[in-house]
Chain A
Amino acid sequence: MLLLDLFFTFFVIGFVSFGGGYAMIPLIQEEAVHRHGWLDAQQFTDIIAVAGMSPGPIATNIAIFIGVQEAGFLGAVVAAAGMVLPSLLIILGVGMVFFRIYQNKWLQSSFYGLRSIITGLIIYAAIIFAVNNGLVSSLSWFTVSQLLIFIGSLAALLIFRKHPVYIIIVSGLVGIAVYG
């Protein structure tokens, strides 16, 4: 059952999606690319691009896109439901309790470990994507151009503090000019 598969996959991911969408990339990749074979690595990168260009949470957007691709509109509904149902359950269930124990030392201690793991997962995602997209391969004109786009984009984010949507659009135009 594809719809059930979509729902449960994103339901599980929704429950552990700490630290924002990008930390969930290795997880979604593991499930959608490796385990279920819904898409390949390059399609996955493209989906992240489209998800990043749309308003709304990145991870939820990725889930909806995969849902559309796999099972049309119903797939999108099911994937979105899977992704946000944990939020609802957590807010209703532990939200109020959490409010009181937020300052709790053990909770804060677990965040200490969690933050490191989340950072590691995001770094891993960056490495995997760099490898998959030929950013780190033998020296060629293509590799150099990709590295330049990478450095330019990172500088635009870090130094010039441009909005990601703006950077993705400019990058697309550069792509049409350079590779078109």
Chain B
Amino acid sequence: MLCCRGDYEMKKNGELLWSIFITFLKIGPVTFGGGYAMIPVIEREVVERRKWLQTQDIADIFAVAESVPGAIAINSATFIGYRIAGIRGALAAMFGILLPTFCIIVLMSIFFLQLKGHPKMEAAFVAIRATIVALIAYAAIKIGKTAAVDITSVGLIALTVILMYFGHSFIHPVLLIFGGAIAGIVIVLIRQKLGCKTHLKQKEQVFDYMI
């Protein structure tokens, strides 16, 4: 009888992985509005409908998803999948969330590469390029609000811009990113020695549109 139970469990497991995949497949296109646009949809699907996790779990998962490298949408989906059904659940959720946007961007790239050189298209992109600069500036303002908490952090921001501007031919951004993490620890240590406090905890919900 043991083998039959095994078969049943495997079938049940397969069904679970399939429904994880389908759930995130449906959520994928919602990531249009950034990773955070997913939260209400995930709550409805994962918490209310399927009862896989609880609301508090979702909040914790997003706290981690936004702090580790990678896109929030993909991180949180992978993490939720992992919490529900282990590594295979993580893979099912990741493929689900990725597949629709992958297909859309592949089609859009092909469409764009085909239309390239068309005068109307070129004219549109001359304007869009200026808008992209605005989008990046907006991203800088939004994240700058949480980063620039004191004079030292403002100094670090300025130093990064200067180093990149004048030294981009020999300084790789990856180096700066690791340097920044170390600098953060060193600065907090020095301040501790001097008896100053650093304002550490920041609500990080600033990355909308920037997943």
Q: Which residues of A contact B (CB under 8 A)?
A: 12, 14-23, 25-27, 30, 42, 45-46, 48-61, 64-65, 68-69, 73, 76, 80, 84, 86-88, 90-92, 94-95, 98-99, 102, 105-106, 108-127, 129-130, 133, 135, 146-147, 149-154, 157-158, 163-165, 167-168, 171-176, 178-180
Q: Are B181 and A113 in contact (CB under 8 A)?
A: yes
Contacts A98-B68, A109-B184, A133-B130 given; indicate if A55 touches B91 (C-beta within 8 A): no
Chain B count of residues within 8 A CB distance of the other chain: 103
Contact of B156 among A48, A60, A120, A146 (CB under 8 A): A120
Q: Are A59 and B71 in contact (CB under 8 A)?
A: yes
Closest Cβ–Cβ distance, residue A180 to chain B (whole Å): 4
Q: Are A64 and B109 in contact (CB under 8 A)?
A: yes
Q: Are A113 and B134 in contact (CB under 8 A)?
A: no
Q: Which residues of B contact A (CB under 8 A)?
A: 28-33, 35, 60, 63-64, 67-75, 78-79, 82, 87, 90-91, 94, 98, 100-102, 104-106, 108-110, 112-113, 119-120, 122-141, 143-144, 146-149, 153-154, 156-161, 163-165, 168, 172-174, 176-189, 198, 200-202, 207, 209-211
Provide the residues of chain B in CB contact with A105, threshold 8 Å. Answer: 188, 200
Contact of A178 among B110, B127, B200 (CB under 8 A): B127
For B158, give the chain A residue with the smallest CB separation.
A120
Contact of A149 among B120, B130, B139, B181 (CB under 8 A): B130
Besides the contacts A65-B109, A120-B158, A149-B131, what 20 more A-B pairs have beta carbons closer than 8 Å? A26-B173, A30-B168, A49-B129, A50-B109, A56-B73, A57-B101, A58-B211, A59-B71, A68-B113, A88-B91, A90-B68, A90-B75, A112-B187, A116-B156, A119-B147, A119-B157, A123-B140, A163-B209, A164-B135, A175-B128
Q: Are A120 and B160 in contact (CB under 8 A)?
A: yes
12 contacts between A and B (CB under 8 A): A20-B139, A22-B136, A50-B112, A52-B132, A53-B108, A57-B74, A113-B180, A116-B153, A124-B165, A133-B130, A149-B131, A173-B124
Provide the residues of chain B in CB contact with A121, threshold 8 Å. Answer: 160, 164, 173, 176-177
Tally A-B pairs: CB < 8 A: 367
Kindly name the residue among A18, A64, A122 whose own CB sees the greatest number of chain B CB atoms within 10 A.
Answer: A122
Contacts A73-B106, A92-B82 given; indicate if A115 touches B124 (C-beta within 8 A): no
Provide the residues of chain A in CB contact with B29, threshold 8 Å. Answer: 55
Q: Are B134 and A154 in contact (CB under 8 A)?
A: yes
- Bound complex: CA of A26 vs CA of B43, how far in Å? 34
Provide the residues of chain A in CB contact with B209, threshold 8 Å. Answer: 163-164
Provide the residues of chain B in CB contact with A80, threshold 8 Å. Answer: 98, 102
Contact of A91 among B33, B78, B187 (CB under 8 A): B78
- Bound complex: CA of A95 vs CA of B129, how far in Å? 37
Q: Are A16 and B158 in contact (CB under 8 A)?
A: no
Q: Are A158 and B130 in contact (CB under 8 A)?
A: no
Q: Are A95 and B128 in contact (CB under 8 A)?
A: no
Provide the residues of chain B in CB contact with A129, threshold 8 Å. Answer: 129, 132-133, 136
For B146, give the chain A residue with the smallest CB separation.
A115
